[in-house]
Amino acid sequence: MDLKFGTDGIRGPVESKITPEACLKIGHATGLVMKELGWSTVVIGKDTRISGYMLESALQAGFIAAGVNVNLLGPLPTPGVAYLTKTLRNKFGLVISASHNDFLDNGIKIFNESGEKISREIEKRIEKYLSSSLIPVETSQIGKAYRFDESGPRYIEFCKSTVPSDISFSSLRIVVDCANGACYKVSPEVFEELGAEVITIGNKPDGFNINQKCGSTHPEIVKEAVIKHRADFGISLDGDGDRVILVDEKGSILDGDDLLYILAFANPNRTGPWSGVVGTLMSNIGLEDGINKLGYKFVRADVGDKHVSKMLSKKGWLLGGETSGHIICKDLVSTGDGTIAALKVISSLILLKKKPSEVLANYTKVPQVNIAVTVKNKDIINDKELNLLLAEIESDLTVGRVLVRPSGTESKIRIMVEASEEKVANKFAKDIKKIIESKR
């Protein structure tokens, strides 16, 4: 089995990689590492994919065979699992999800006792056991499984608690797109209980329609609904709820860079843990300039919210995120949380008494073009001809950047080009795409 941790856990097609056998092994291997560390209980949550039922049972069996007790949380956003891992004092939490991918994929994400993604050191220890035989503990030592029915209400109350008591959402009409995923129950309830009028879409999961022409990868759906219902905000979550894209009252789509800028702009304290902001290699160069002009330092981490989180810890800062919508507010949460990021952005705008466009008028993005090319072999990025082209493009760019990287979650190579003019960025991106396709 080719079971290795990538950018965001272990992910792949259910029919060939994330199979019941693979999940049995992952559960057992992770359980053995837990026992070595002196830990004996794990919580398991999942999104709404049809394969989740099958894989949950396999993981459960693997952990029990290793002598680890299991608390089953049912469908719950990834950040909700991270939160409960921490508050229930469990040492490990595990999520069955492939995030923004379609239902044909699934994956495993693992959190430590602090609600953060496990370290590479622990990932390597788990990978080592994945290649060994599965031998259950003695029958008297096998683990037990329990259902934890309060996971949704606990997470809802936590999300509400992050909004100051003097802030009211009662005057707001908000469209919430749950991507037919793990947020389909909890997120609309959060905004309703805070007083907003909520119009919910993407809240009818059938096991197959997760992320299907909805959610954060299709924010145009929320945009249409915001305009139709004359809403104040649109919130577009992904299948496991760890990323968010917002839409303002005019129908403008706000990505993770925009949300980071709003949060940085609204924060009056720019010293100590608030003295810097972490972005990624994908963050727009205009965001970096805008953040610097606000008086913050700006540092880029590798792509992936776990790398953003690690950089925040290294710097001792509290705010970071990705263009894709993973926003980490470390004063509140330990990982990317789409619902809480939306709450904090909207609360900040209420306090500022400003519309998003008024805040975002203070910084200017450089035109950026992103293309993904499906490949079988991601090693194409090392091709000599491709790298010669990239060097030529970089020498031609007076303003902007070029980045070509293998996706950590899909069989794709991702192309990003920034330039002073969109037509220039488009041309270079198409040239890169053409040469990659010729090498497939």
44/67 Cα distance (integer angstroms): 15
Provide the token pair at 16: 């060939």
Instruction: Give yes or no for a contact between 287 and 265, defined as CB atoms under 8 angstroms apart.
Output: no
Instruction: Give yes or no for a contact between 42 and 71, defined as CB atoms under 8 angstroms apart.
Output: yes
Long-range contacts of range 221-228, CB-CB < 8 Å, 24 or more positions apart? 221/177, 222/175, 222/177, 222/247, 223/247, 223/251, 223/253, 225/175, 225/177, 225/199, 225/201, 226/175, 226/251, 227/251
Q: How many helices (H) and strands (E) does the chain have?
A: 14, 18
8/221 Cα distance (integer angstroms): 26
Tally of CB atoms within 10 A around 395: 8
Whether 119 sits among the annotated catalytic residues: the reply is no
Inter-CA distances, 165 with 162, 189, 263, 266, 410, Å? 9, 17, 19, 18, 41
**115: helix, strand or coil:** coil
Sign of CA pseudo-dihedral 343, 270, 328, 92 = negative
The single residue of 51, 97, 99, 283 carrying the catalytic annotation is: 99
Task: List alpha helices for 111-185, DSSP H.
Answer: 120-130, 151-161
Name the DSSP letter for residue 61: H
To which residue do tokens 């469209």 refer? 175
Instruction: Give yes or no for a contact between 363 and 286, defined as CB atoms under 8 angstroms apart.
Output: yes
**27: helix, strand or coil:** helix
242/339 Cα distance (integer angstroms): 8
Active site residues: 99
